């Protein structure tokens, strides 16, 4: 192939990268939170009847956090970390963690769609319960996955605290 044929060769056009928001993150995107860059390595979409919310697994080194995003009357965001707290079913009306009492806010059953590292739970259902402390400044999220119950501690954040950088997909 000569020099001139390289000059006139059509370049392969790539589709433009779509702009991302906290409600449309994809596996491979980057989320900057608290001065740390996290890669979105997993995504779980929960559906309980007509209601839907999303949790993104964010990874930085060995540090994993979860970003929860849902559009209720307004956008609600939270950061969660798994904690070692024993909970059994049926879920109680109160939980105690780190010197605080958390009160049951809502519970239900959701079908999930998992992507990335969360693809192994795709199509499963989970019983869930959300708890808040008295000031509604801290949360506990409980999810039952068959014989395993996972508990996460969280707190609300504002959209301006998160910067989203779209990956290549």
Q: Could you report the per-residue pLDDT of 129-138, keeping only the tens digit for each?
A: 999 999 999 9
Residue pLDDT, tens place only, 58-92: 999 999 999 999 998 999 999 999 999 999 999 99
Q: How many CA atoms lie within 13 A of 103 on its CB side?
A: 6
17-46 confidence digits (pLDDT tens): 568 899 999 999 999 999 999 999 999 999
**Phi and psi at residue 119, to the nearest 5°:** -65, -20
HEC readout, the chain: CCHHHHHCCCCCCCCCCCCCCCCCCCCCCEEEECCEEEEEEEEEEEEECCEEEEEEEEEECCEEEEEEEEECCCEEEEEEEEECCCCCCCCCCEEEECCEEEEEEEEEEEEEEEEECCHHHCCCEEEEEEEECCCCCCEEEEEEECCEEEEEEEEEECHHHEEEECCCC
Integer Cα distance of 132 and 111 in angstroms: 23
Query: Stretch 107-111: mean pLDDT, rounded?
Result: 97
**Residue 20 CB contacts under 8 Å (≥ 6 apart), including other chains:** 26, 29, 164, 165, 166
Q: Provide the pLDDT confidence category of residue 6 given band limits of 50, 70 and 90.
A: low
* Model confidence at 8: pLDDT above 90: no
In the chain, % of residues over pLDDT 90? 83
Position 10 confidence tier, pLDDT thresholds 50, 70, 90: low
| pLDDT 10s digits, 157-168 | 999 999 999 986
Report pTM: 0.88
Length of the chain: 169
Measured CA to CA, the distance from residue 72 to residue 135 in angstroms comes to 20
């Amino acid at each position: 192939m000569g020099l001139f044929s390289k000059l006139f060769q059509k370049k392969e056009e790539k589709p433009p990268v779509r702009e991302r928001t906290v409600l449309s993150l994809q596996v491979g995107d980057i989320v900057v939170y608290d001065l740390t860059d996290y890669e979105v390595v997993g995504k779980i979409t929960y559906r309980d009847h007509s209601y839907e919310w999303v949790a993104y697994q964010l990874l930085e080194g060995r540090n994993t956090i979860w970003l929860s995003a849902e559009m209720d009357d307004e956008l609600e965001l939270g950061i969660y970390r798994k904690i070692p707290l024993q909970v059994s079913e049926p879920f109680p009306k109160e939980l105690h963690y780190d010197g605080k009492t958390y009160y049951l806010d809502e519970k239900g059953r959701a079908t999930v769609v998992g992507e990335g590292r969360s693809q192994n739970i795709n199509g499963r259902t989970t019983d869930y319960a959300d708890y808040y402390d008295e000031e509604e400044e801290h949360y506990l999220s409980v999810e039952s996955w068959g014989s395993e119950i996972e508990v996460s501690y969280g707190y609300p954040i504002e959209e301006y605290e998160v910067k989203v950088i779209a990956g290549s997909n």
